[in-house]
Structure 1
């Protein structure tokens, strides 16, 4: 129980960073939105599952890679935290800039024509795995949750928890954005959401950069 209490704050912070990252639409989320709006709910859900599986793959690769790196070079934790903290501050800047902008989100149908459900699932996976920002994003998320000397189960809990959240939230995007009402509501709330996200990312980035463990 003491171990759980020790590592739980970091795990919850990693979950929070992941949740807010999904709330700030990137190429993956915008693709799910656009597909649901232009093609249909089923296709959007298939694409969402592909994105979620891709997110799980990145999480596993990041945890295994960082664990192996830290096992060999303990001092690498400082470099990882600097990279993660700097990326979170960059996300904060982007969120604040988006909050100040007047334009709405631009969710469009995927290029290349209509696909089968399996085709959309595969496309979602490819979108997530080829996103150049995904690696940095996961380094930041895992760095928030992993402390120096953290046991293997901490990384496993972060990976499994974020995968479950990813499936739920991406499917929710697919279902919600198949309706015009939700699209309008999100458009009206977008600037406030981005301001909240910017604040969290800034605080999380500073926390990571000033952390000693």
Structure 2
């Protein structure tokens, strides 16, 4: 697989994960609905920092382990493929199941209006989100090429930062109005279905590739 294809694959998987609503979505949308746009922006910066942290940790481990233990690369590929199919299947199941009412933990929001508090909220959410942690330590590791040059590492970090920043800032803008947020929630099951199908397909592709 070429480096360009690897970047496209990383982009596709990461966007599919971002597209499925989770803690990040509900924290940012709630802040936007409350008119706390400045706090929402700082929360986005925190979430992006969390994504950068995970990608750096993942790449640091890969740089050493995969170069010394080729069998580990194969194991990670299988683990990552299994995770993609498992998570994709969950999204597909949610697409065909009745919507479940969601509640956001009130402790996740600080109404003091402090940018540092909002940044910390985003950072902790990004670093402790089980979905994100599982993605970076399994699926990402499975698709990241072994023995990649330094420029590929740097470009991947910039790519992840740009995708995270752009997506989460987009949420704060789009869901700043109740009407648009309500529209997205109405099509959420469709989004989950598409994202789930993409993840299952990618998982099968990784499982069958050599």
Would the aligned equivalents of 2:92 and 2:192 in 1 still touch at CA under 8 Å?
yes
- The answer to whether the aligner puts 1:12 opposite 2:11 as a matched pair is no
Match of 2:111 in 1: 114
Residues 106 and 177 of structure 1: is their aligned pair in 2 closer, same or farther, counting only changes over 3 Å?
A: farther
- The answer to whether the aligner puts 1:35 opposite 2:31 as a matched pair is yes
Query: After the TM superposition, which parts of structure 1 deviate over 6 Å for at least 4 consecutive aligned residues?
Result: none
The 10-residue stretch of structure 1 (109-118 or 42-51) with the greater mean CA deviation from structure 2 = 109-118
Match of 2:165 in 1: 167
Runs of 5+ consecutive residues of structure 1 not aligned to the other structure: none
Match of 2:152 in 1: 154
The Cα offsets for residues 81-128 of structure 1, whole Å up to 9 and x where unpaired, read as 111111111111111122113326736364164141211111110111
Structure 2: how far apart are the matches of 1:109 and 1:58? 24
Offset at 1:142? 4.1
- The answer to whether the aligner puts 1:56 opposite 2:55 as a matched pair is no
Residues 108 and 80 of structure 1: is their aligned pair in 2 closer, same or farther, counting only changes over 3 Å?
A: same
TM-score, scaled to structure 2: 0.90
Residues 15 and 105 of structure 1: is their aligned pair in 2 closer, same or farther, counting only changes over 3 Å?
A: farther
TM-score, scaled to structure 1: 0.89
- The answer to whether the aligner puts 1:206 opposite 2:200 as a matched pair is no
Would the aligned equivalents of 1:30 and 1:106 in 2 still touch at CA under 8 Å?
no
Would the aligned equivalents of 1:87 and 1:140 in 2 still touch at CA under 8 Å?
yes
Structure 1: how far apart are the matches of 2:120 and 2:201? 35
- The alignment's C-alpha RMSD in Å is 2.0
Figure out how many residues of one structure are paired with residues of the other and give that number.
207
Would the aligned equivalents of 1:45 and 1:174 in 2 still touch at CA under 8 Å?
yes
Match of 2:72 in 1: 76
Structure 2: how far apart are the matches of 1:109 and 1:182? 22
| Superposition map of 1:97-112 within 5 A | 97-103=93-99, 106=102, 108=104, 110-111=106-107
Offset at 1:156? 2.4
The Cα offsets for residues 174-209 of structure 1, whole Å up to 9 and x where unpaired, read as 121111121121022111111110110001111111
Residues 83 and 197 of structure 1: is their aligned pair in 2 closer, same or farther, counting only changes over 3 Å?
A: same
Structure 1: how far apart are the matches of 2:184 and 2:141? 29
Would the aligned equivalents of 2:28 and 2:40 in 1 still touch at CA under 8 Å?
yes
1:133 is paired with a residue of what secondary structure? helix
